[in-house]
Amino acid sequence: IDQLYSKGVRCFVVSSIPEDKSIYKNTSFILVENTLLSLQLIAIFCRGGFNKPLIGITGSNGKTIIKEWLTQILSGTQKVIRSPKSFNSQVGVPLSLWRLDNDFDLAIIEAGISLPGEMKNLEKMIKPDIGIMTNVGEAHQENFKDFEEKIEEKLDLFKESSILIYCKDHR
């Protein structure tokens, strides 16, 4: 809280209120039982209000560069909002989705995982209309029982997508 407060943040979602909250002038603390779940539930709400196409990107490598290339290409004709930097984690995705605004024509959101079960949470938030699978490589393989499990996990992001783009050389 101290670091963020010094950078100007004045609203915090917390699981416990600081003992001496009086040192944080003009600050709000929202007390919740589970901060991560709360961030994700707000993201689900934000995504539900965005009625424009959303592209979801996942894979072991290349998510950010593809997102940036697509943004450059599409920005000539579309108003595009995208995940900032590499915000593709259980915390980064909600922060990305909070920025959704129907003034934009299109959203591009990255999703990254390192453990089994994580993509189900990301899919609930992102709900991509269009999916892009960059590739599936060795990154984080130690956390999955085999390569097939990791592929299945990544594909969970696209279970409701109407279009999936991937390299046809990858069976």
Confidence bin at 171 (pLDDT 50/70/90): low
- The per-residue pLDDT of the chain, averaged, comes to 94
The mean-pLDDT minimum among 17-31, 53-67, 69-83, 127-141 falls in 127-141
- Kindly state the average pLDDT of the residues 116-124: 96
**Distance separating alpha carbons of residues 63 and 85, to the nearest angstrom:** 10
Average pLDDT rounded to a whole number, residues 135-154: 86
Give, in degrees to the nearest 5, the angle at Cα 96 between 91 and 101: 145
Q: What is the pTM of this model?
A: 0.89
- The percent of residues in the chain predicted with pLDDT above 90, rounded, is 86
How many Å apart are CA 9 and CA 28, to the nearest integer?
10
Cα 115 from Cα 97, distance rounded (Å): 21
Confidence grade of residue 141 (pLDDT, cut at 50, 70, 90): confident
